[in-house]
Chain A
Amino acid sequence: MLSIRNLGVRIDGKPILQGINLEVAAGEVHAIMGPNGSGKSTLAQTLAGHPDYLVSQGQVLYQGQDLLSLNVEQRAAAGIFLAFQYPVEIPGVSNIQFLKSALNCLRKQRGETELDALDFLADVKQKMRQMQMDETLLYRGTNEGFSGGEKKSNEILQLLVLQPQLAILDETDSGLDIDALKRVAAGVNAFRSPERALILVTHYQRLLQYLVPDRVHVLQDGRIIRSGGAELALELEQQGYAPDTPKDSEDAPNQAPEVSDDDG
């Protein structure tokens, strides 16, 4: 489904990813792990098409087409979904309105008709129950004043409603307590199917207890330095990412372009 070949990405001229190779087949779950600043979020944002991330080399094929030639909404229409590490607040636009607008835009781009409003509402509510989310969140501004856990759950709700082909979860587990983590993992597990693929970007192994990956990759300094099965995550948990080098030494490069919602 996804084939990343020798991908290099720069931000403000600084090389962040330096020759990534990754193959993701339909039905698979891949975990990308690594310390802060290793380029994990950069990889996620590059796949989604964030304009600040400049591809300097390599190519990305998605379902046989050149992904890098598509703009952000075309990629979304092609079935790529990014669960944001920091979901963005959209004041005044209710959650239900946002979801409906997104789904209808996606359907329009795919040449499908708009969904019946009542069917849509019933579908969303059913998925909220599945996620154990409070229905009143539907009528509040999108992510506006949501707690950290509510924001992350809301990303997964969008995932379930929009039904993409390839979902990239950027540190969806960060900041969640154990109950919230289980709910989010259950939601993501409900999304898994033989036709769909998942890329989980995460620091910690704990999400992977509930969402068992097929492959685990370790990213460091913009390169994948190790790949393995689910057991690799456990090993990392016990031994750290790079036992022979001091930790937390490369925090800086990935901070600046991190998506933030503090405009205003």
Chain B
Amino acid sequence: MAKSTPPLERMLERGYSQGFVTDVDSDSLPPGLNESVIRQIVAKKNEPEFMLQWRLRAYRHWLTMPVPTWSRVHYAPIDFNAISYYSAPRSRADGPQSLDEVDPEILRTYERLGVPLHERAQLAGVAVDAVFDSVSVATTFQKELAAKGIIFCSFSEAIQKHPALVQRYLGSVVPYTDNFYAALNAAVFSDGSFCYIPNGVRCPMELSTYFRINAANTGQFERTLIIAEDDSFVSYLEGCTAPMRDDNQLHAAVVELVALENAEIKYATVQNWYPGDQDGNGGIFNFVTKRGLCAGAHSKISWTQVETGSAITWKYPSVILKGDYSVGEFYSVALTNNYQQADTGTKMTHLGQHTRSTIISKGISAGHGQNCYRGLVKVGARALDSRNHSQCDSLLIGDTCGAHTLPYIEVRHPQAQVEHEATTTKISDTQLYYCQQRGIDTETAVAMLVSGFCKEVFHKLPMEFAVEAQALMEISLEGTIG
């Protein structure tokens, strides 16, 4: 596994006396990042040459980039040399050996969300060899999908089995030059999901990483690529509503979607990473780049997200509307409680003619939470008859939280129509009193008022997610009033 390292890199490795030249533990690399680490990742994953070259270019570019500081989130600087960049596939033996070892708080949440018993163990990362029903469920699905020519597999598997597709589309929507964390991800990503829907195929079920075994352990640098060929349709669910046990503090994922002519991709996320404790200690930093390209005419990409987790969320699922008559949508609910910080929003870039985009963002702040909507609507010079409608609503619970709305609009076509509406409301004492006078207790009332506020977004979620999202909001809001 050892590779000879050029002298320059060897110099850059100073301070890490253990080095990387000799073979290390077969399943993980010691902390630190340099070209040798990237070569080892590629070697361990047996990736083709084009991947190595691409990763190296990304890494070299990353070295030239400053850490971004423009967002409204605050955190101590991350030491990128203190992170181990290869620990996947994480052995199940690392995890808790039984549910007894899992944080009771997490177990209580599973129970309230109604997660079936056998799935609780899997979500919590308990070392179980047989994954109960999921195995057979997954296999059944794989067969049905394969019959339609749909490829749905881990990114690693795609690199091995479908290198041409990967080479063609990887980085085509989010190039490694895009931003600091996207460059880092490109250099070191370990795994993720890959999905390809052939011409004219309507994917017969909601695709979810949940049905891919090991999906929960793909690690902190995850990469997802979804390609929808002409006239195809796919609805994709990311993550799960139950809290994920995870030891990694930094998550820098990249998601790329490509919709060709007349294709439609719906991408829904209900994310509930560990948000840290009530005093703001711990929790995951979620720095994600998600972008879709409406490459063909009449294509459509919809992002729907419900974010209640992470200590810090930094994410802007975006759509590039390149094809004429293409449609981009963004529906978001972001909730921050305790000391959580969220800087989230979207970018809609109208390049093609007659393109349409809709943005509905609902931010909820409670406790000391800080919630920022940041959005860009850009209409290019060619984008005749393009329209955008944005609606950003903020709801404040209590008086120690904050909501911020930062819409950016750049229009280069004289006939473009861009609308932006923003509201900030508080859960009023009057509304609470009215509910209470009808016998509704405070907690139920708050949950009801909040779900009313989020209704337009919840309606966009697939059924099974909508119910869980609602339950999740109730749990996340517990004790915010009174």
Residues of A within 8 A of B (CB): 48-51, 71-73, 75-77, 81-82, 84, 87-88, 90-93, 97-98, 101-103, 105-106, 109, 141, 158, 162, 259-261, 263-264
Q: Say whether, besides A101-B444, A264-B425, A264-B428, A77 and B453 are in contact (CB < 8 Å).
A: no
Chain A hits for B441, CB < 8 A? 73, 105, 109
Query: What's the least CB distance linking A26 to chain B, in Å?
Result: 21
Chain A hits for B437, CB < 8 A? 48-49, 72-73, 75-76, 81-82, 84
- Pairs of residues from A and B, 5 with the lowest C-beta to C-beta distance, nearest first: A92-B452, A263-B428, A76-B439, A93-B452, A106-B439
Q: When chains A and B are docked, how far (Å) is the Cα of A76 from the Cα of B435?
A: 10
Which residue of chain A is the closest to B448 with respect to CB atoms? A93
Is B259's CB within 8 Å of the partner chain A? Answer: no
Q: Say whether, besides A72-B436, A84-B434, A259-B433, A264 and B423 are in contact (CB < 8 Å).
A: yes
Chain B contact residues, majority secondary structure = helix
Query: What's the least CB distance linking A90 to chain B, in Å?
Result: 6
Q: When chains A and B are docked, how far (Å) is the Cα of A97 from the Cα of B458?
A: 15
Is B455's CB within 8 Å of the partner chain A? Answer: yes
Q: Say whether, besides A73-B440, A106-B439, A141 and B452 are in contact (CB < 8 Å).
A: yes
Q: When chains A and B are docked, how far (Å) is the Cα of A88 from the Cα of B429?
A: 11
B448 touches A88 (CB 8 A): no
Chain B hits for A50, CB < 8 A? 433
Q: Say whether, besides A90-B452, A92-B453, A141-B452, A261 and B439 are in contact (CB < 8 Å).
A: no
Chain A hits for B452, CB < 8 A? 90-93, 141
A90 touches B449 (CB 8 A): yes
A92 touches B451 (CB 8 A): yes
Is B4's CB within 8 Å of the partner chain A? Answer: no
B438 touches A162 (CB 8 A): yes
Q: When chains A and B are docked, how far (Å) is the Cα of A228 from the Cα of B280?
A: 63
B439 touches A263 (CB 8 A): no
Q: When chains A and B are docked, how far (Å) is the Cα of A141 from the Cα of B436?
A: 17
Q: When chains A and B are docked, how far (Å) is the Cα of A148 from the Cα of B178?
A: 54
Is B454's CB within 8 Å of the partner chain A? Answer: yes
Is B278's CB within 8 Å of the partner chain A? Answer: no
Chain A hits for B434, CB < 8 A? 84, 87-88, 90
Which positions 381-427 of chain B face chain A at CB distance < 8 Å? 423, 425-426
Chain B hits for A261, CB < 8 A? 428, 430-431
Query: What's the least CB distance linking B333 to chain A, in Å?
Result: 12
Partner of A260, one of B430, B444, B451: B430
Q: When chains A and B are docked, how far (Å) is the Cα of A48 from the Cα of B456?
A: 33
Chain A hits for B436, CB < 8 A? 71-73, 76
Since A51-B429, A84-B434, A84-B437 are in contact, a sample of 13 more A-B pairs with Cβ atoms closer than 8 Å, ordered by chain A residue number, is A51-B433, A72-B433, A73-B437, A73-B442, A76-B438, A87-B434, A92-B451, A101-B448, A106-B438, A261-B431, A263-B425, A263-B431, A264-B426
Chain A hits for B440, CB < 8 A? 73, 101-102, 105
Q: When chains A and B are docked, how far (Å) is the Cα of A260 from the Cα of B423?
A: 19
Pairs A–B under 8 Å by Cβ, sample size 16:
A50-B433, A72-B436, A73-B436, A81-B437, A81-B438, A88-B434, A90-B434, A91-B452, A92-B456, A93-B448, A93-B449, A93-B452, A261-B428, A261-B431, A263-B425, A263-B430
Q: Say whether, besides A93-B451, A263-B425, A264-B425, A88 and B430 are in contact (CB < 8 Å).
A: yes
Chain B hits for A71, CB < 8 A? 436
Q: When chains A and B are docked, how far (Å) is the Cα of A109 from the Cα of B423?
A: 36
Q: When chains A and B are docked, how far (Å) is the Cα of A247 from the Cα of B123?
A: 71
Q: When chains A and B are docked, how far (Å) is the Cα of A91 from the Cα of B453?
A: 7
Q: When chains A and B are docked, how far (Å) is the Cα of A82 from the Cα of B434?
A: 9
Residues of B within 8 A of A (CB): 423, 425-426, 428-431, 433-442, 444, 448-449, 451-456
Query: What's the least CB distance linking B467 to chain A, in Å?
Result: 14
Query: What's the least CB distance linking B391 to chain A, in Å?
Result: 13
A263 touches B426 (CB 8 A): yes
Which residue of chain B is the closest to A86 with respect to CB atoms? B430
Chain A hits for B455, CB < 8 A? 92
B433 touches A90 (CB 8 A): no
Which residue of chain B is the closest to A158 with respect to CB atoms? B438
B448 touches A97 (CB 8 A): yes
Q: When chains A and B are docked, how far (Å) is the Cα of A91 from the Cα of B431?
A: 10
Chain A hits for B454, CB < 8 A? 92
Chain A hits for B444, CB < 8 A? 101, 105
Chain A hits for B448, CB < 8 A? 90, 93, 97-98, 101
Q: When chains A and B are docked, how far (Å) is the Cα of A101 from the Cα of B431?
A: 14
Q: When chains A and B are docked, how far (Å) is the Cα of A77 from the Cα of B429?
A: 20
Which residue of chain A is the closest to B455 with respect to CB atoms? A92
Chain A hits for B438, CB < 8 A? 76, 81, 98, 102, 105-106, 158, 162
Which residue of chain B is the closest to A73 with respect to CB atoms? B436
A88 touches B453 (CB 8 A): no
Chain B hits for A141, CB < 8 A? 452
Q: When chains A and B are docked, how far (Å) is the Cα of A259 from the Cα of B432?
A: 12
Query: What's the least CB distance linking A81 to chain B, in Å?
Result: 8
Q: When chains A and B are docked, how far (Å) is the Cα of A91 from the Cα of B451?
A: 10
Query: What's the least CB distance linking A124 to chain B, in Å?
Result: 14
Q: When chains A and B are docked, how far (Å) is the Cα of A72 from the Cα of B436?
A: 6
Chain B hits for A102, CB < 8 A? 435, 438-440
Q: When chains A and B are docked, how far (Å) is the Cα of A199 from the Cα of B107?
A: 50
Chain B hits for A101, CB < 8 A? 440, 444, 448
Query: What's the least CB distance linking A72 to chain B, in Å?
Result: 4
Identify the interface centre among A77, A102, A158, A263: most chain B CB within 10 Å of its CB: A102
Chain A hits for B423, CB < 8 A? 264
Which residue of chain A is the closest to B427 with respect to CB atoms? A263
Chain A hits for B431, CB < 8 A? 88, 90, 261, 263
Chain B hits for A90, CB < 8 A? 431, 434-435, 448-449, 452
Query: What's the least CB distance linking A244 to chain B, in Å?
Result: 38
Q: When chains A and B are docked, how far (Å) is the Cα of A181 from the Cα of B219?
A: 66
Q: When chains A and B are docked, how far (Å) is the Cα of A162 from the Cα of B437?
A: 11
Identify the interface centre among A51, A77, A101: most chain B CB within 10 Å of its CB: A101
Query: What's the least CB distance linking A151 to chain B, in Å?
Result: 12
Query: What's the least CB distance linking A259 to chain B, in Å?
Result: 6
Q: When chains A and B are docked, how far (Å) is the Cα of A51 from the Cα of B482?
A: 13
Query: What's the least CB distance linking B427 to chain A, in Å?
Result: 9
Q: Say whether, besides A90-B449, A92-B453, A93-B451, A162 and B439 are in contact (CB < 8 Å).
A: yes
Query: What's the least CB distance linking A54 to chain B, in Å?
Result: 15
Chain A hits for B453, CB < 8 A? 91-92
Identify the interface centre among A90, A106, A259, A261: most chain B CB within 10 Å of its CB: A90
Query: What's the least CB distance linking A140 to chain B, in Å?
Result: 12
Query: What's the least CB distance linking A123 to chain B, in Å?
Result: 16
Chain B hits for A48, CB < 8 A? 437
